[in-house]
Structure 1
Amino acid sequence: MLADPVLQAGAPEVIVGGAALEADVRWVHVSDSAGVARLLDGGELLLSTGAGWPSAPDALREFARALHHAGVAGIVVELGSGQTGIPDAVAEVCRGAGLALIALTREIKFVSVTEAVHRSLIAAQTDALHERQRLHELFTALSLQGAPADVVVAETARALGAAVVLENLAHEVIAHETLRTPVAEALGQRADADRVPVQARGVRWGTLLALPGPAHPAGRLTVLEQGATALAFGCLADGGDAEWSLLAHRGIIDDLLGARFANPADIAARLASGGFTLSGRLCHGIVARGVESTADLVDRARQAGGAVVAAHGGGDAVALLSLPESAPLTDALVARIAGPTRTVFVGPAADDVLGLLASLRAARDLAASDRAEGGPRVRRVDDRPLERFVASLRDDQRLLAHSERMLAPVVAYDRERRGDLLEVLAALVAHPGNRSAAAAASHLSRSVFYQRLTLIADLLGADLDDGETLAALHLALSARRGAAHT
C-alpha cells in the first residue's frame, strides 16, 4: 500500500519500516480517537490525523502499546491539523514492537486510501477464488487419471513455485520436485517446511511438505492440501502405499543413471533419505536377470542386513546394494538375495557415491554385453578387466573416437544392409582362440561365419588373426556398447 499512488500523493515518510512493512493489511480503519484500539480486530491499517491523541508521553506510549496489542498492521499519520510531527513516545513504542509507522507530509483524502485498499483486497479475494478453482480442476483431473505420486508432487511444486517433498511415515523420501534448488539443500530444509498429512478414511500414509517459497493467491496450505488429497485418492485406488516404495526406488535409479543430480552431495542426500548409507559399508551396483518383482529382492537384502534400492526394467532388476563391511558380497550371498536361479552381474565395491554410480554402470554394461543362455551365474566386473577399464573411461572422448573410427566401415555396412557384422565381430573377440565357439555364439554355421569374417577383414583392412588388432577391436566394441547403453 505504501507504493500505491494514493499514499504516494501524501509524500510518505517512513518512521518505522524494515520488516514492519511486510505486515499484511486486512482492512482500513480511519479514526482520531484515543480509544480506537478497542474497536480493532487485528490486521487494520489505521489512518489518523492524531487530533484526538493524548499529549502526555506516558499516555502516548500506552496508546501505541494498545494499538500493537490489538494487532494493527500499521499506523499512517497525516501531519498538519492534528499532529505537526510524530510524537517521540509513539515512535519509540513502534520501533520496539516492530510496528510500521508512516507520516504523510501532504494532505490526501483518506477515503481514497480506503477505496484503494478495499479494491486490492477484493481483487486478491477474486484471484484466490479463481486459483482455488483452477487447483481443484487440476488435482481432480490428476486423481481421475490415476497420476502416480511423483507426477502429483511435481504439479504441486510447480503450482507453489517451491520445492515439494513426499515422505512416508518413516520419513523416507518417496518423491520430490526441487525445481532449481539442489536436492541436498532442499532435503536439508525439511524442518522449516509447511506440511500436511496424506490421509483418508482414518488411514495416514505420509506427509506432503513444501519448502519456503513465494506466497500463493489461494494460500500455500490450500495448495498442499489439494496435492495431499490427490495423493490420498491414489493410495485408496492402489490399495495402500506399496507402490510408493517402488516409486522411490525407481526414481533414485532413474535419476542416477540419467545423471539428473547436480553433484555427489545430491546423490548422497537422496540415498540417505531412503535409508541407504555408504559410510562404513560395502556397496555395489548389481543387475539381476529375469527378476519379475523387486519387492522380494529388497526383502531378502534387508534380511541379510543390507540396504537396497532397486528398480525393474527390461526384464532385469537394477539395484544398489549396501552391506556391512563384515558381510562381503560372496556368490552365496548374491544367490540368497537375488534368488538361486538368477544370473547376476556385480559391479566393483564402492565407498562413495561416484564409485557407486560407476559400479552400477559397469554392472549394466556387463549385463548388456552378456546375453548368453544358461545358468544361474554370478558375473563380476572385477573378473572382466576390460569391461571395468572401459567403464572407468566412459566419458573420455578419445575412447569414443577410437571406437567410431575403428568400427565405422562395419557400422555403415550393417546400417545400409541390415547386416550382423557387429554381432559376428563381438562373438569373435569374445572367443579369440576358438572360432567354432564364436560361430556357435553367433548362431551361424562355420562356413557362413568365416565368410562374415572375411568381409569384416576386407572392410576394416585388418588382419583378424593379429592379437593387437583383436584387442583394439574388443576395446572399440566395449566402448560402443557402453555409449549406446548410456
Structure 2
Amino acid sequence: MAWVLTQTGLALRLRGGATGVGRPIDVVLTTELADPSRWLSGNELVLTTGIRLPDTAPQRAAYLRELDDRGVAGLGFATGLTHPAVPEDLIAVADEIGLPLIEVPLETPFAAIVKAVTARIAELQYDDVVRVSRAQPHLTRAVITGGAHAVARELGRALAATVVIVDTVGDVVACHPAPADVTVLDEIRRAVLPGADAGATTVVLNGAPTTVAHQRIRVGSRSYGELVVIGAQPLSHIDQVLLGHANALLALDFDKPARLADAQRRLNSSALGLVLTATADVQPAWTLLAPVADSHRRIRALSIDSDSREVLPAVGAACADLLEREGYQCFVHAGEVEAVVIVPGGVGIDFAGRLIDGLDAPTRRAVRVGMSGTHVLDDLPTAVQHSARAAAMATRGGAPVEFGAVAGQILLSDNASRKVLATVAEAVLAPLVEYDREQRGGLIEALHAFLEANGQWETAAAELGIHRHTLRNRIRTAERLLDCDLGVARVRAELLLSLLAGGDRRAPVPN
C-alpha cells in the first residue's frame, strides 16, 4: 500500500488508516456490491465508487469492518461521481481499525491503478526470482566452506530474518544473527516440539506478532534437527524455495558422517567375511581387521544364531548401534542364519547381554548368542568357531553363553560329534538296554550314576536311593554284559559320553 501512495501519477490521497499502509497487495479488484466480503480472500486493494454504500454511519462502519476482517490491503474510494468526498465517519472508522482508506480522484481511472499494481507485482516477482538465483549459489558455497553456521548466515541475509538451526534435543547448532535471544529460543523450542509437523506459527516476541517457520532436517528416517526462520512477515512462496534449498544442503552436510560410517561398516563386514570364508591369501582383509584388536592384538568373537534369516537385519542394526554407542569399531558379518561380531579382547560377556536386551521381544526369542574366549587376532577363525559352539549351547531368547563356561558340553553341542556318539551308544549299550527291559535290572541308571559320581559308591548309591551293595552288584553285572573293566578311565569316559549322547535309555517298567 505504501508503494501505491508514492505513485504521483495516480494522484491518490490517503484519508484514513495510516497505520496499515504496510499491508501487502496481491491483486486489485473493483466491486460495487453492498457486501463483497464473501468473495474476498485477503490482500486485495478494493476499489469502489460507493454506489451501494450504506446510507447510515453504523452500516458504513460495519461495511468497512467486514473488509478489514477479510484481510484486505485497503479500500480505494472514488470521489466526484456518487460521492463528492469520502464520508467523514468512514475516515474515522478507518483510523480506528488501521485499514488504509484512499481517495481516488475523478481524473484517475480504476484501470490505471490496476495496471500500475499489476506491473509492480510482476516486477517484484521477477526480483524474487533473481534474488533466489543469486542466493542459491551462495548457500551451496556456504555449506561447502563453512557448514551449518555459514548456511544460517547466508539464509538469514537472503530472507532478512533470524535463522536458527537446532538439533533433535533443541540445542542450538547455528544461529544468525548470533547469539539468539533466550526468549526467541524458548519460542522456537515450543514451536518445534518433537513430532510437530513442518510449517509456520505466529507468536508474540517483544510485543510484536512474529512468524516462526520451520522444516525438519531429515534424510530418510534419520533426523538431525530443525531449520527455523523467525521474521516479521510470513515467508513468501519464493522464500520457501530458499528455505527448502538450505534444508536440503544441511541434510546432505549432516548426513555425510553417517554415510561415511555406513560405507566403513560395509567395508569392515566384507573384510571379515573374506577372512572367514576365503581359501586364498587375503592379507589386505587382515589389514582392515587390525583396528578391532586391543593394544595386545587380542579379540573376542560373538556369534548370534537365529532360526530365521528375516531377523538378521534387525540383529545387525542392533549390533552396529551398540558398538557405536560404546565406542568400538563395527565388524559385523551376516551369513544365512547367523551373524558374527568381532570386538576387542577386553570386552566382557556383559556386552552380549546388552546386545540381547536391546533387541525387540520377537527378535530376542529367535536368537541365541555365544561368545568366545580371548584370542590373538591371527586366531580369529578359531575364536569364531568357539563362539559358534557357545551359541549352540545357549537357549533362544535366553542369556548369552561364554565358551569357557561350557566345559564338558562342547563335544555334545556339535551335531556331527553327537551323531557319532549316539551311534556308538546304540551299539555299546544295547546289552544293558535289553537286560533292563527283560529283568527290570536298572543297569543303565546305575551305570550313569556311578560314572557321574566318578566311581564314588556312596555318592552314586545315595543319588539312586539304593544300598551301595545293590549298586555294586548292578555294576558287576554291567561289566559282565559289556565285557569291559570300569577301572579303566578311558572305558569310563567312552561309556559316559555314550550315555549322555544317547539320552535316557532306562527300560520302561511293565504294567
For the pair shown, the structure with the greater C-alpha radius of gyration is 2
For normalisation by structure 2, the TM-score amounts to 0.41
Instruction: Using CA pairs under 8 Å that are at least 6 residues apart, name the structure with larger relative contact order, 1 or 2.
Output: 1
For normalisation by structure 1, the TM-score amounts to 0.43
